[in-house]
Structure 1
Amino acid sequence: MADIIAKRAKTLAEFGEMMGKVFIPEEVGAGIASYQPRPSDIVISPYGKCGTTWLQQTFHTLRTGGDMDFDDISRVVPWIEQAAMHDIDLNADQRAEPRGFKSHLSYRDIPKGGKYVVSFREPKDAFVSMFRFMEGWFIEPGTVAMEDFFQGWMAGGPEGDGYWGHLLGWWEQRDNPDVLLLTYGHMIADPERHVRKLAEFSEIAADPDLIALTLERSSLGYMLEYKDRFDDAMARAQSEIRCNLPPGSDSAKVRKGGVGGHKAELPAAIADQIDAIWTERVTAVTGHADYAALESDIRARNSG
């Protein structure tokens, strides 16, 4: 029998089938159920494409003094939902204290008992970033329209709660001393403030030299230089086996970053839908007319 030709998805349905092979509910559930948080654990849990990898690297640099001896940042700051897939013991000691973990879970679903760091991002930028991230890895570029992908993004993805449920659930915890809320835009605008705030929240003693080193090693330029450490190498290897994807796909998670990039390519119809959903779901709960207002609120809270 001839070998099946490796290929990427060319339709949203094919993409959905692939996601089902990578995020098997029983496997994801086993990873979540296995995790036993310690009070000092730092769980980095933004929504997808909202600064997770950046925070993983910042945290790992702070706690280790600059360790780069890893092939995948999620090997040293493990992804809770994919732990069973990669046979990672979430309850083992790590290279340094405090232990650190990655997740995309909402507050409702995340195991309780640790400390949590969540960065929010403008939903239009987060959506476009996710679309471009999946192109070239799971999706054959140019075959799935952004409008079609948006419908899948709205459905919530493997974690199930969607951008809106994730944001609202974590916003409700804004006064919880074990939750640190940040914003992607403010992290870009004032990285030193956020390195210091993350160190303080994580109870890591950070002298000026460690702060300077962390700023260097969590910078866009540095992470682009070492982008093979931040390209989901473990997940990509599994995706190639489970989904028969072409080897060596572009799964780099460190790209150009930035704020407002959606303006150059997001169709107006999608932008309007996002604005309408924000008004219906977020403004009704938080009182913030748009993302900019919510971000301004969080900036003010973190300005002390």
Structure 2
Amino acid sequence: MSELYVVHEGFLFPKHVISEESLRYAWEEFQVRDEDVFIVTYPKSGTTWMQEIVPLIFSNGDLTPVLSIPNWQRVPWLEHNFCKGLLEDRPSPRLITTHFQRHMLPKTFDKSKAKVVYMARHPKDALVSSFHYHNIAAFLDNAGRFDEFLDKFLEGKVMYGSWFDHIKSWWPVRDQEYFLFLTYEEMLQDTRNTVTKLGEFLGKQLSSDTIDKIISQTKFNNMKQNSMSNYSFVPSDILNQENSNFLRKGIVGDWKNHFTQAQSEYFNSVFAERMKGLNFPYYKD
């Protein structure tokens, strides 16, 4: 496993796109601007969806950026090797993606007025999505059997570490002015209200027609057909989408098709223990 990852302070980062140098740049050298917007997620928690929605909010519904610029260029990853080249000279507002926990943000973040949009997803669904992703991504270790991957996920022995630690690092700042906490589930259930909330948080007053355009473009099937978002440009020897697409289902509750009753109960018991005292009202089933 270690041959595929950069291991830093116990965290696994995929070596295919991340290096010690890129991590050092993100933490030590990156200069955060007041106008920056960070999209923060735990892996497989709606990141690509947010990389589609937020640019459309800033373009006032103009589809040009999401239909002509690959998502990893339109909303680059802070921790990736190409971050410096894509972001250093980019005019504000810069839209930036990361899977970092709160303490991993650049040192200059706390002195800025930059904003964070955080998207959470049911950890069982994030686990299932990650399980399938590991089986198509050559730069990640093979997922193995589902029960094996379940144990690794619960132990935090997966890329970017523990889902529980990720949530616990961000949840305490949920009431800060710079921070907006969203869930994958509420976005799917009421996309209009969530897009409106996002627009207000980002200082953009969106017309009803603009919101309609954003909702239409960011429906799962439309995104799945968008070559700028579905990673179809990635060679098959790196990301093999022959048997499973990168954008796979985009639904809530797919975990029920994978977990046995015993596995679900075991997961729930770990969840209850790990989240004890956090006053976190989501995902207790």
Same fold flag (TM > 0.5): yes
Deviation at 1:282, TM superposition (A): 0.8
**Pairing 1:32-181 to 2, within 5 Å after superposition:** 32-64=27-59, 65-67=62-64, 68-82=66-80, 84-85=81-82, 88-94=85-91, 98-111=93-106, 112=109, 113=112, 114-138=114-138, 144-153=144-153, 154-160=155-161, 162-181=162-181
Matched pairs, number = 265
Conserved in 1, the CA contact under 8 Å of 2:185 and 2:252?
A: yes
Output the CA distance in 1 between the equivalents of 2:167 and 2:98: 14
Q: 1:104 Cα shift?
A: 0.6
2:149 aligned counterpart, secondary structure: helix
RMSD, aligned CA: 2.7
**Alignment counterpart, residue 283 of structure 1, candidates 268, 276, 282:** 276
Residue 231 of structure 1, CA deviation:
3.6
Partners in 2 of 1:150 and 1:141 — Cα distance? 14
- 2:131 touches 2:143 (CA, 8 Å); kept in 1? no
Greater shift in the superposed pair: 185-194 or 113-122: 113-122
User: What code does the residue aligned with 1:72 have?
Assistant: P
Q: CA deviation digits over 1:150-197, x for unaligned, max 9?
A: 34333254434x211111111101111100001111100000011111
Which of the pair is proportionally richer in helix?
1
CA offsets, 1:126-157, max 9 Å, x none?
Answer: 10011111212228999711122234333254
Provide the residue aligned with 1:296 in structure 2: none
Q: How far apart, CA to CA, are the structure 1 residues paired with 2:51 and 2:72?
A: 8
Alpha-carbon spacing, 1:73–1:49, altered in 2? closer, same or farther (3 Å): same
Q: 1:267 to 1:66 in 2, by over 3 A?
A: same
Report how far residue 74 of structure 1 moved: 1.3
Return 5+ residue gaps in structure 1 as ranges: 1-12, 238-244, 294-304
State the secondary structure of the residue aligned to 2:160: coil
Partner of 2:10: none
Query: Could you tell which deviates more after superposition, 261-270 or 120-129?
Result: 261-270
By how many angstroms is 1:252 displaced?
A: 4.5
Report SS of the residue matched to 2:102.
coil
Q: Which residue of 2 aligns with 1:216?
A: 216
- Tell me what 2:5 maps to: 19
Q: Which of residues 237, 244, 256 is equivalent to 1:246?
A: 237
User: What 5-or-longer segments of structure 2 have no aligned partner?
Assistant: 7-14
Identity of aligned residues (%): 25
What SS does structure 2 have at the residue aligned with 1:81?
Answer: coil
Partners of 1:34 and 1:90 within 8 A in 2: no
- Residues 142 and 266 of structure 1, relative CA distance in 2, 3 Å threshold: farther
Q: Give runs of ≥4 in structure 1 deviating > 4 Å.
A: 139-143
TM-score, length of structure 1 as denominator length? 0.77
CA contact (8 A) 2:131 2:149 kept: yes
Distance 1:266 1:286, change over 3 A: same
CA distance in 2, matches of 1:45, 1:60: 15
